[in-house]
Amino acid sequence: MRVWVCLPTYNERENLGPMVWALGNVLDEEARVLVIDDSSPDGTGEAAEALARELDFVDVLHRERKEGLGPAYLAGFRQALAGGAELVLEMDCDFSHDPADVPRLIATVEKDTDVALGSRYVPGGGTRDWGVVRRAVSRAGALYARALLGLPVQDPTSGFKCYRREVLERIDLDRIASRGYAFQIETVYRAVRAGFRVAEIPITFSDRELGGSKMSRTIVLEAVWRVPALRLRALLGRL
């Protein structure tokens, strides 16, 4: 099936080239990689253009402002759907998500599911190099989202997912306002509520080695209030 990989970037100059080449090695020749850059001050956008000139499976979407992961992915998903993607894959560009896991996610959806989710919290999955605080925040976030939303998913904040295009067509992208981690929770919640099947694939999540984290208190707090807000909207029939 025709795959588009969406790769959001903000100041990922050192990671982008190695990531795009690594993806080129694991994807088939029909696949495309779409870099979504929010005018990174470190020149990631220019590096992406240079890669697109060199490699014909690469496209670049430049956005004017940094608005968070959510809006960047939404713009990328729309471009992928318009470009004829049958499967859309989302992942970080900092090597926390291992490009070597990409074929497993794709194969899982091709075989018989609607969303394949790279999961740290199923047997065989885990995190590497994370401190106690980071591990606790991630675990607590997963429990919180699962409990409040009744999600049958162990790792609802995972940002390593492969969707069948029908999922993105059905979940009404225009209504998604989440920007940070909440975006990952909201997309999987909408998919589950729409009746799609989600399969969790164990992955090892490694801390980034190059570049800086964009995780912030605002992003965590957004997830804290968006989760009950999502539940409320669902109860009122206004998701």
80 in Cβ contact with 50 (< 8 Å):
no
Least gap, CB of 161 to ligand GTP (angstroms): 13
Q: Which does 88 bind (CB under 5 to 8 A by kind): Mg ion, ligand GTP, none?
A: none
Cβ neighbours, 10 Å, residue 34: 24
CA 58 to chain centre: 18
36 near ligand GTP (CB under 6 A) = yes
Binding region for ligand GTP (CB under 6 A) out of 60-68, 82-90, 135-143, 185-193: 60-68
Give the amino acid at 161.
K
Q: What is the number of helices (H) and of strands (E) in the chain?
A: 8, 9
155 binds, among ligand GTP, Mg ion, none (CB under 5 to 8 A by kind): none
Distance between CA atoms of residues 233 and 192, nearest Å? 15
With CA atoms as reference, report the closest residue to 146 among 86, 188, 203. 188
Question: Which secondary structure element, helix H or strand E, spans residue 111, and what is its range?
Answer: helix 102-112
What residue 36 binds from ligand GTP, Mg ion, none (CB within 5 to 8 A, per partner kind)? Answer: ligand GTP
List 12, 90, 94, 200, residue binding Mg ion (CB under 5 A): 94
Residues 82-121 close enough to bind ligand GTP by CB under 6 A: 92-94, 96
Q: Which does 176 bind (CB under 5 to 8 A by kind): Mg ion, ligand GTP, none?
A: none
Interface residues toward Mg ion, by CB under 5 A: 92, 94, 96
